[in-house]
Every structure is written in structure tokens, then in C-alpha cells.
A = this chain, B = another copy of it.
Amino acid sequence: MTEPFSPQPLVYFFGQGRADGTSAMKDVLGGKGAGLAEMTNLGIAVPPGFTISATVCHTYLDTHGFPPRLRTQVERALERLEAATAKEFGGEETPLLVSVRSGAAVSMPGMMETILNLGLNDRTVEGLAARSGNPAFAWDCYRRFLQMYASVVFDLPKAPFEAMLEEARHAHGAAREIDLPVPTLKSLVARFKAHVTDQIKRPFPEDPMEQLWGAIAAVFESWNTRRAIDYRRLHEIPDDMGTAVSIVTMVYGNLGDTSGTGVAFSRNPSTGERMLFGEFLSNAQGEDVVSGARTPEPITALRDKMPGVYQEMERMARTLERHFRDVQDMEFTVEDGRLYMLQTRRAQRTGQAAFRIACDMVDEEAISEEEAVARIPPQALEQLLHPTIDPSERLDQLTVGLPASPGAASGVVVFDSDTAERAARAGEAVILVRRETSPEDFHGMVAAKAILTARGGMTSHAAVVARGMGKPCVAGAQDLDVDEAAGVIRANGREVKGGDWITLDGSTGAVCIGRAKLLAPEMTPQYTRLMGWADRIRPMKVRVNADTPADAHRGRDFGAEGIGLCRTEHMFFEGDRLFAMREMILAENLEERQRALARLLPMQRGDFESIFRAMEGFPVTIRLLDPPLHEFLPKDDGEMAALANEMHKPLEHVRHVVDSLHEANPMLGLRGCRLGIMYPEITAMQARAIFEAACTVAARKGRVMPEVMVPLVATMVEFRRQALLVRQVAEAVFQERQLTVPYLIGTMIELPRAAITADEIAREAQFFSFGTNDLTQTTWGLSRDDAGKFLPHYIESGIVAADPFQVLDQVGVGKLIKMACELGRGTRADLKLGICGEHGGEPSSIAFCETLKMNYVSCSPFRVPIARLSAAQAALAARGTVDRTKATV
């Protein structure tokens, strides 16, 4: 790229109540520069300065030089700055000192460079000493400047400087550099300069202008460091954005007791309470707060010490909040009793605070209800709905697995379900740790606070059951070696014994050693109020994925408007049912199979009845048996022998069945509707259980709306045959009961072929529910259970932007979904469309569903509120009225 001819200025001045820029010019000025300009325009006291446009960044990087226009414009800005401050850049009497900071349009914390006190040299330092009357302060500033400049501009290691400082502090027994005697500080400055000269083979630049250009160049170059590039990749920040450079007059909080520095929030970011909140450190600079050497006081201390300053701060906070229409997080410095704002930005806040602030601001008529809904980050709900680890805890992370079920828990490591049950009964908090769980572990999972597995993915047994129970679960922690025999787990060269405490964060997948303080979830009145607004806004319904009556109730409590996915197989994984299921699988002929099915029928019917009751008045989508049958059978010899014994079958037979059901790729094998086609009697039993239960509830005046879902359909004919069977059973039951219940039959679209031939399938199916888990697996050719070996690397190295199992891949999978919606509706205009994969609870995926005008999304119970909120936000974004990302600074 060559320098573009541009009439746009390259430098933007701010000061004396007027700025060339505004907050709308983030692309040019960076977030920081735009904030400074805007505050200046608002009449807030900001130290004057100027910002070099981010557009210069690439010119510099491409040409390794500055555009000629820039020199002139910087010089002119410096002149204005001298005029505004009545100081002189490089002047010996009243030296003008500046900070040089980078700042891109998007915040890149920790990635950006800062140099303070630029303009100091052997002459100006004397002027600063004289003017401030505090030579130690002046020489300490000089010392700091040299250190920062050496690091940022000359890229010298920090350690030698630290060592010299340490030596000096040690020699004088001083805790802080500023407490050192002036001669020592002077000699440190001399030693620093000598060290730099030695390293860069030329003297340290004494000329402030040379210092300034060196600093500007260094900021631009910092854009292309490995670290910055990686950060941008990780956060999907475009490389061509570039960074601006802000040059701001230095103000000092360390000029005595009428000076100080701090951070203030316009409201309490933890609770949302409307009051100035923050910290203040008297006679100090920003670095002192960060370094932790001194403990700051609450901001209220300022009220007592400098009531005028405090009032001014309150005024500024109100002004900024009103202007930016959101809570502000402000950095400030008090120099000699005078308050300066150095930065303002949208305040981060807890989930609780987010809701309270949003509701309060609606009551204050600062924002509309829509805006209130639009600006709650869906993640804020996680904090309201699950225990979280206290952010103040220092965690000792052992490893990371998949965030399989959200929430945090601490407990002692237990390796088997019986022990877990015993310990839990004895009042102990336990975490069940298994290589992988199986149906036999159910009671252990009930007993445990949380579950950790080394194998299996987001849809493994552990993950699905835990999500259903609402318990935290970290699954598929690949690094984890679960050595049950030795009674230890190992990862990354470390070991944790059974009985030792660990803490899991099921929202991030973190596995930590030790016990952590947890914050309890809390649903506030503001939550209820704001979610009510959200519900009024969204056209899409939100349903819950619920396999049990308990799940169904939980879903209703969270506001679900029906069940989008009831996986009937999970009903078979417990006690009696598992036994009857195994009888069915081990049956040697149709008659035996039907006998076992007859035993399963009343159990299923009972479950469906309870579920229909729990969801009265709402639709309930019931999926016919889906998983490969071998999932119900034991895997090891001992369990097979026990089963054979219990079932009065020869072990050989059990082994033969287990063996014959073995599949090379179970994900792509005999499952879904293929089971129902091979064994129509299973489908018939399930249909009978559904319609008998529906009739029973309907007979007592309950409103039931069953939607029967045929899984894993690849061809229209498969669907048609299963649907025919279901309809025949429905008719038979209605005849027997002398009662008719309205129902739908539809299918899960979870294979690419189903999506591609959706026009054909819609001829027969009354609804489509997108099973995005399987659809992602087949579209990508990626087994969720096996992706752990390489998908993390794919994400880290930027091959994929996000885990497609968590965030819907709109370009690939989404295109198939779109195609299926269009083809399906083309055939059947009133085709009901929904999504029931994990993505049904993920905000960006929900937004995608909204663009396709789906009828509903369905997700696990604890994600229902997130889905309600996201669906409302998606609708607002689609209307174009409010966009959360634009609503705030």
C-alpha cells in the first residue's frame, strides 16, 4: 500500500473544551482517542493532547516511514498543545511532558504500548524538579521514562533495569523508588542511560522530538508483533484495522496530598446500585495502583478529603453516563486538587448488575425497554443461573476439558458411583471422576455435585445426563489420565488423589486443584421484569430439551413454551427400564421382543403422561428411539456375565449380540429411523405409549399437543413408512379410547441428504426440527467424540473461528439449514421449523434461526433463559431498531 492521497487530517487535536474528533470516529482515533475527543467536547476536564489517525499505521508499516504531511501536522498540534498548557515541549523551565499510547478501534487489553513522561532529558528534568518543587518526583519520572522507552522503543529486556532498581532499593531499605534519595535516583538515571547506550550502540536520544517520533514508530510497529497478531486472530479482529497513537499532556497524581489517582464507576458494577463506586489512591500514579504496592481506599474517601473534587467527579460521571447512555468506567487523576479524566469506557458488570442497571435506566427513561433487552449480554445470565467461581479466587488449574454442562462446583474426587453415593449420603461434596460414564453410573451422578470425564464429547452420556440434571460437567478432558486402580488422576505431570478437593467450571471446562469459593446463583426481580420484556419482543418460541418430567418442570420454571426434544432413549437408562430394554435387544425372535416391549410400554406411557401434564397447553416433540442398540448393553466381560445370569440367557448369546451390534462407526450405523424400519414393533410400541398417554391426559380435560419426531431420516420413503406406522397406531388408540388428540408427525433434519431433499420430505412431514449436532458432524465429517484430538488446535491456530459444535457454522451447516427451510416451505407453506441441537441455546446461532424465521428454538433447561433473551435480541437486530453492539461505548 502506498500513502493514499487524502484530504482527511492525519492528526486530531483536543483541548480547551474543543476536539477535532468525536466518539463516532473510533476507526480513525481508536477507542481511547475517540473517548478523549468526546469527553473534551462534553466539557469534561481532559488533559489536552492530539491523536494520530490509525490510517497512518499501515502507511508506516508498508513504507517504514512517515508520510511527509504527518510531520507538519504533528508539529502544528504540538504548538497548539504548548499554547493550551503554557508549557514548552523540550523547554527547560516549564517542560511539556506527554504520554504516548496506542489505541485501536477495538480494545486489545495488554496488547498495547504506553510511554509516560516523554519529553524528559537531562535538562528538562531540572525544570520539572524546580517547577514541582519535588526533585525526587522529577528524577523518578525520568527514571520511569527511560525504562519504558528502552522497553517499548528499543525492545530491551526489562530485567537489567529491575535488577538495578532492586539493588538501589535494597541498599537504601526503600520500599518505593520515590523514597530513594535524589542522588541515588540521579545515579540510577545515569546507569540506565549507560546501559541503553551500551545495548543500542548509540546515545539515548536527548531531543524530545526525536523521542516522540521514536515512540510513534514503536507504537505502529507494535501492531505487527507476534503477540498482537495472535491476539487479533483469537478475537477475530481484522489485521487491517491498525492502531491510532494518542499523545496527551502528562498530569500527575503524585504531587502530594492534594493529588491522587483512581478508577471510578458511575454505578456499582457488582450490584448495579446507583452510586459512585471505585478506588482512589492519594499521592500516587496509576502504576502504583496496578503494582499493588499500596492498597487504594474506596472512592468515598475522596469525599472526605477533597469534597469539591468528589462533587466534580459525580457531575462528570452523570454527564458521561447521560451522554453515552450507559454506565461508565473512568480513569482519573487529581493533580494538585484538579480533577482530570484520562479515559472513559463502558463499564463491565456482573450479571446481577446488568439486569438492575438496565431496569433502572428504563425507569430513569434513559433507555427504552427494547434497548434494555438488547444490551444484556447473554453470558450475564450464566451468572444468574449457575453457581460461579468467585472471581477473586486464585485458581490452580490442572487441565481443561469440554464445557459440557455449565456451573461450578467443588468436591472431593471419587472414582465410582457406589462410593459417590455413600459419601454424599454422609454429607460429603463429591465430584464423580470417570474415564467415561455409562448408564450404570446414574446413581453416582445423582449423588455427585459435578461430573468429570476423560473421554466422550459434548453429547456423551455424562454430558447429556448432567445437562439434564443441571449439574456442572466437564467432559472429554483429553489430557486427563484416570487411574482408578492407583486411585489418582493425572494431567500435565501432576497428580490428584481420590479424596482430594477439586473444583470444576462446567461453563469453561476448567479443572482446578483445591476448593474454591463459589457464588450462589440469584434470580432477581429485575431479571423477571426484563425477561418479560424480552418475551414480548421475540416472535420465536423457546422450548426445552427435556427427557423426564423433572426436566419438563424445570424447563417450564425457566420459561419454556413446550418441549422441542424429548429423547425417549434416556428413559431406558434407569434400573428396571434398562433391564427391559436389554431384554428387548437380546430377544431371539419377534415374540420375545414383543414381550419385552410390552413391559416397556407402561413405563414409557407413564413418563409421557407426566411430561404431557407438566407441559399442558404446550407442544411436546417426542423423538422415537435414536441411539444404536449397543449403547444399552454392557461392554466388559463381567457385566455381560451378570446380565446373562440375570436374564437366564447363555453368556455366549449375550456376547454374540454385543459382538454383532459392534459397529465401526456407530454414529453412521444402525440407529435413528433405521432401527424403526428394521424393528417396526419398537416404533409401534413407542407410538402406542405416546397416544395412550395423550388420551389419558386429554380425557381429564388436559390440553396435549404431541409432535412425533422420526430421527435420522435420509430419504422421504424412510419417513413415509415410519409416519404411516405411527398414524396407524394413533388411529387404533383413538378408536380404543373413543377420543381424538390433535398431533403432528415430523422429522429431525440431521443429515445433509435430508436437508438437500427437504422438498421431498416436506411432502410427508409436518415439521422439521434441525438436529444441528448430528448435522454438523456429518456436514463436517467430524465426530464430536473424536474431534478433541485436533479441533482445539484448529481453533487455536485460526483454521476455524469457533467450535462448530458450540457456535453454528453458518457458512457451511447454516447453508444446508437455509436450503432445507426454503425447500421445505416451498412444498408446505405451513411447515413448522425449529432447532433442537446444542445450538438452540447459543446466541449467534439463535440469531441465525431468527433470520430464517424459524418457529422456535429448543435447548437444555438451563439455557432456556439465554435463548429467550437471545431470541429477543435477534428480533431487535433484525428489525434494525437496536443492536446491542452499537448501543454501548
Chain A interface residues (CB < 8 Å from chain B) = 663-670, 672, 674, 677-678, 712, 714-715, 717-718, 721, 750-753, 756-757, 760, 774, 777-783, 785-787, 789-790, 793-794, 798-800, 809, 811-813, 815-816
Q: Nearest Cβ in chain B — how far from A555, in angstroms?
A: 28
Contacting pair A781 B812 (CB below 8 A)? no
Contacting pair B778 A781 (CB below 8 A)? yes
Contact of A668 among B665, B674, B809 (CB under 8 A): B665
List of B residues within 8 angstroms of A677 by Cβ: 790, 793-794, 799
Q: Nearest Cβ in chain B — how far from A588, in angstroms?
A: 15
Q: How many Å lie between the Cα of A816 and that of B753 in the bound state? A: 9
A and B contact pairs by CB, cutoff 8 A, 11 listed? A663-B786, A667-B668, A669-B786, A677-B799, A678-B789, A714-B780, A714-B781, A750-B781, A752-B752, A752-B812, A753-B779
List of B residues within 8 angstroms of A812 by Cβ: 714-715, 752-753, 756-757
Q: Nearest Cβ in chain B — how far from A764, in angstroms?
A: 13
Contacting pair A674 B779 (CB below 8 A)? no
Given A665-B667, A813-B753, verify A678-B790 contact (CB < 8 Å): yes
Contact of A715 among B665, B666, B800 (CB under 8 A): B800
Q: How many Å lie between the Cα of A799 and that of B678 in the bound state? A: 12
Given A718-B799, A815-B756, verify A783-B750 contact (CB < 8 Å): no
List of B residues within 8 angstroms of A778 by Cβ: 752, 778-779, 781
Contact of A752 among B779, B787, B798 (CB under 8 A): B779
What is the chain B residue whose CB lies nearest that of A669? B786
Q: Nearest Cβ in chain B — how far from A542, in angstroms?
A: 28
Other 5 A-B pairs with CB < 8 A, given A663-B783, A663-B785, A670-B789: A668-B777, A669-B783, A677-B794, A714-B812, A753-B813
Contacting pair A715 B664 (CB below 8 A)? no
5 nearest A-B residue pairs (beta carbon): A668-B783, A665-B783, A669-B786, A752-B752, A664-B785
List of B residues within 8 angstroms of A786 by Cβ: 663-666, 668-670
List of B residues within 8 angstroms of A811 by Cβ: 756-757, 760
Q: How many Å lie between the Cα of A669 and that of B788 in the bound state? A: 9
Q: How many Å lie between the Cα of A369 and that of B783 in the bound state? A: 51
Q: How many Å lie between the Cα of A783 and that of B778 in the bound state? A: 11
Given A670-B790, A753-B813, A790-B677, verify A664-B721 contact (CB < 8 Å): no
Q: How many Å lie between the Cα of A80 and that of B122 in the bound state? A: 131
Contact of A800 among B665, B717, B780 (CB under 8 A): B717
List of B residues within 8 angstroms of A669 by Cβ: 783, 786-787, 789
Q: Nearest Cβ in chain B — how far from A771, in angstroms?
A: 10
Q: How many Å lie between the Cα of A756 and that of B813 in the bound state? A: 9
What is the chain B residue whose CB lies nearest that of A815? B756
Q: Nearest Cβ in chain B — how far from A755, in angstroms?
A: 9
Contacting pair B666 A664 (CB below 8 A)? yes
Q: Nearest Cβ in chain B — how far from A434, in angstroms?
A: 16
Contacting pair A816 B752 (CB below 8 A)? yes
Contact of A712 among B667, B760, B781 (CB under 8 A): B781
Contacting pair A751 B790 (CB below 8 A)? no
Q: How many Å lie between the Cα of A541 and that of B813 in the bound state? A: 33
Given A667-B665, A786-B669, verify A793-B678 contact (CB < 8 Å): yes
Given A750-B781, A793-B677, verify A717-B665 contact (CB < 8 Å): no
Most buried by B among A715, A757, A774, A785: A715
What is the chain B residue whose CB lies nearest that of A481? B656
Q: How many Å lie between the Cα of A813 and that of B815 in the bound state? A: 16
What is the chain B residue whose CB lies nearest that of A751? B781
List of B residues within 8 angstroms of A663 by Cβ: 783, 785-786
Q: How many Å lie between the Cα of A787 and that of B670 in the bound state? A: 7
Contacting pair A816 B783 (CB below 8 A)? no
List of B residues within 8 angstroms of A664 by Cβ: 666-667, 783, 785-786
Q: Nearest Cβ in chain B — how far from A342, in angstroms?
A: 41
